[in-house]
Amino acid sequence: MQFEVASVKMADSTGRGSHAGCSGGPGTPSPGIWSCPRIPVAQLIFDAYDLRQYQLKPSESMVGTMVSVVAKVPAGTSLEQFREMQQYLLAERFKLAFHWQSTEMTVYDLVPGKSGLKMHESAPDAPSAEVEWTRVPGSFIGSDRYPVFPAGKQGLMGVNNRLRWRSSNVTMADIVKVLRRALGSDVVDRTGLKGKYDIDMYWQQHPIEVLPAAPPFEGPDIQKAIQDSLGLKLEAKKGSVPVCVVDHIQKAPVEN
C-alpha cells in the first residue's frame, strides 16, 4: 500500500514557522489529504507503526530532523492501510530498516483499589473526552503552579512536569494511554470497567533527567494520584515488551 502522490522535504528545525504535527487522513474531516507541515522523523515512525513511547528510543538526529510531508490518500483507505502507506513512505524516502527485540522491563496491571472506585460515570450529555497532552499558556497556571482550566473547558494540560487532567466520557483505554506515557512502560487494564467516567486529577511527573533548574518534586506522583482520585491501583511486575531497534535511517529524505 502506498500514497497516490507524496511530497517529502526538509523543514525548518529551529522552531520557526508551522506548528509541529499532522492533519488529515482516515477518520478526519480531510481523509484525502495527509499534511505534516513540520514534524520530527521520529514522530513519523511512532505514528506509522503505532508505537508506544517505551517501544522506541529515537536518536538525536531522528528527534531533531524536521520534515514536511504532504500526501494524497486514496478514497476509502482504512486506518490500517494508511499506516502501511506511512511505513512504505519511511522505507522508500528514508531507507528505514529496523528489527523487533524483546526487552524485559517493569510493566503494570491496572486494578481496582481497596477503597473502592472514586470516579463517577459521565452524564449522557457530557462532552467527549480530551486526553492529548497540551502545553499551558501562562495565564492558565494557578498559585499551586498546576494548570487551571477556564470555566467550561476540559483536557489534559501540563507545565514544568505538573499535570492536571479534567475530562468527561473517559474510557479505561483513555486512562491506560495516559498511564503508559506517564510511566514510560506498558500498562494492562485488569479492572473490568466498561463505562465512561469523569476525571479530575493532578500529579507531578518525574522528569526524565534532573536538571539544576528543575523544580523540586513535590508530588503526588501518578500512582498516588490514580489511587486518591480514581480509586484504582497499579501493580508492578516484570514483563517482556517488544521494542523497535532502528538499524538504518537516512538523515535527509530521498528527493521528490
**Collapsing DSSP states into helix, strand and coil, what is residue 125?**
coil
How far, CA to CA in Å, does 101 sit from each of 121, 176, 230, 242?
40, 23, 34, 6
Q: What is the pLDDT along the chain (256 residues), one digit of tens a residue?
A: 899 999 999 987 665 555 567 899 998 999 999 999 999 999 999 999 999 889 999 999 999 999 999 999 999 999 999 999 999 999 999 999 999 999 999 999 999 999 999 999 999 999 888 777 776 665 578 777 888 888 888 888 888 788 999 999 999 999 999 999 889 899 999 999 999 999 999 999 865 444 445 556 577 899 999 999 999 999 999 999 999 999 999 989 997 7
CA–CA dist 163, 203 (Å, integer): 6
CA–CA dist 67, 253 (Å, integer): 8
Bridge partners of residue 112, in order along the sequence = 232
Domain positions in the chain are 5-103+241-248, 117-230
CA–CA dist 142, 121 (Å, integer): 27
Unique residue bearing C-alpha cell 529515537: 58
Give 43-56 pLDDT, tens digit per residue: 999 999 999 889 99
